[in-house]
Amino acid sequence: MTAKRIVVAGGAGYIGSHVCVELLQAGRKALVIDNFANSSPVALDRVREIAGGNVELLRADLADPADAERIVSAVTAFRPDGAIHLAGLKAVGESVAEPVRYYAVNLPATFTLIRALEAAGARLLVFSSSATVYGDLNKSPVDETGALGPTNPYGRTKLFIEEMLRDLARADKRWKICNLRYFNPVGAHASGKIGEDPNGLPNNLFPFIAQVAVGRLPKLKVFGADYPTRDGSGVRDYIHVVDLAAGHVAAIDYLAKEASPGAVEFNLGTGRGVSVFEAIAAFKRASNRDIPFEVTARRDGDIAEIYARPDKAEKLLGWRATRTIENMCADHWRWQSANPNGYRDE
């Protein structure tokens, strides 16, 4: 059995739009639910340009009780086989400043999606979790049995939802669930039509570097060069967003074919650590632009090094990341240089 009709909650966002492209190109049909809180309808127009029109949109807020009935009806009418859930707030700093908002959005959005899937009789769910659930407790490479201890409210919403989904799968064997623990998604679709478009000043390294390269920001700050890593800067497992998106199709297919997988966790990473200085150098080569930077103090809450052991996904999903840091930089740059102001140019 294949899952053909997929609800994509948060499908207009950075990762969601790439997931939609991979689904459509694999011959599936998508119903996107998005409130465009941190995304643009233009992203879905671009998805259609790349991969055709098999995507419907329901503009609604999964976390707003006033929208719940409309969502349940639309999901039921769509007759889905399952869902990919990427709807939620995701800025670490903001979650520290406004923790209650993070819990009040990320958890209820998940409750409503589960309710809609129950109503539709489609108990197959792929959840967008994060490597942030591991916190700073493990030596890298970290596998899925690693200790869990997120260090901020955003990360705790991911962990709480994972735990709830494990409880759900234990209580009702009809549910099949994957918790996908993303490492650091970067890059963009090779067409240059969709990519990351952060609101305001970027928090994350790659969008920041890209905006410096394109001349929108003057200078990058390297948050600490005194970590116990090979060059003193932080080491992360950057993964090309198209590889990551393909991992969602593999996860949906795995759930559809397994009789009773329960809830299963997967790391989606490359298994390779890249330092901040290495990322700057790679982006410089790909863009042929200067990337001025200065080393500053460490950022609060940052860890020295984390990268994945991705073997479980390779073994059970038949998926592995194939794109290199050079591909990530080249594709990120193509998107950024063609769309210097993201989707706002349209």
Q: Does residue 327 belong to the site contacting ligand UD1 (CB under 6 A)? A: no
CB of 200 to ligand UD1, least distance (A): 13
User: What minimum distance in Å lies between the beta carbon of 6 and ligand UD1?
Assistant: 23
151 to 43, 133, 158, 182, 206: CA distances (angstroms): 32, 8, 11, 16, 22
Site for ligand UD1 in 27-56 (CB under 6 A): none
Instruction: At 242, list the tokens.
Output: 């198209």
Using CB under 6 A as the binding rule, whether residue 234 contacts ligand UD1 is answered as yes
Q: Residue from 59, 221, 230, 257 that binds ligand UD1 (CB under 6 A)?
A: 221
- Residue by residue, DSSP assigns 59-103 as E--TT-GGGHHHHHHHHHHH--SEEEE--S---HHHHHH-HHHHH
- Smallest gap from residue 339 Cβ to ligand UD1 (A): 19
- If one asks whether residue 156 binds ligand UD1 (CB under 6 A), the answer comes out as no
The piece of 16-24, 119-127, 215-223, 254-262 that touches ligand UD1 (CB under 6 A) is 215-223
Which among 14, 102, 134, 154 is annotated as catalytic?
Answer: 154
Which residue, judged by CB position, is nearest to ligand UD1 in the bound state? 234
User: Nearer Cβ to ligand UD1, position 234 or 269?
Assistant: 234
22-30, 73-81, 104-112, 298-306 -> range binding ligand UD1 (CB under 6 A): 298-306
Nearer to ligand UD1, 68 or 205 (CB): 205
For 207, residues 6+ apart whose C-beta sits below 8 A from its C-beta are: 196, 198
- 103 is annotated as an active-site residue: no
- Applying CB under 6 A, among 9, 86, 161, 205 the residue interacting with ligand UD1 is 205
Q: How far is the CB of 65 from ligand UD1 (least distance, A)?
A: 27
Using rule CB under 6 A, residue 184 touches ligand UD1: yes
Please work out the total of residues on this chain that contact ligand UD1, with binding judged by CB under 6 A: 19
- In terms of Cα–Cα distance, which of 218, 236, 197 is closest to 335? 197
H helical segments located in the chain = 14-25, 41-51, 68-78, 92-97, 99-120, 153-171, 205-213, 241-257, 276-287, 311-312, 325-338
- The DSSP line for 20-44 is HHHHHHTT-EEEEEE--SSS-HHHH
Q: Report if residue 319 touches ligand UD1, rule: CB under 6 A.
A: no
Among 94, 144, 302, 314, binds ligand UD1 (CB under 6 A): 302
The least CB distance from residue 148 to ligand UD1, in Å, is: 13
Q: What is the DSSP letter of 151?
A: S
130 binds ligand UD1 (CB under 6 A): yes
CB of 86 or CB of 169, closer to ligand UD1? 86
Residue with tokens 């305001």: 200
Q: Which amino acid is at 343?
A: Y
208 binds ligand UD1 (CB under 6 A): yes
Q: How far is the CB of 208 from ligand UD1 (least distance, A)?
A: 4
Cβ distance 32 to 6 under 8 Å?
A: no
CB 214 within 8 A of CB 340: yes
Pairing of strands 5-9, 82-85: parallel
Distance CA 47, CA 53 (A): 8
Which residues lie near ligand UD1 (CB under 6 A)? 92, 130, 132, 155, 184, 203-205, 208, 220-223, 234, 236, 276, 299, 301-302
Name the residues annotated as catalytic. Answer: 154
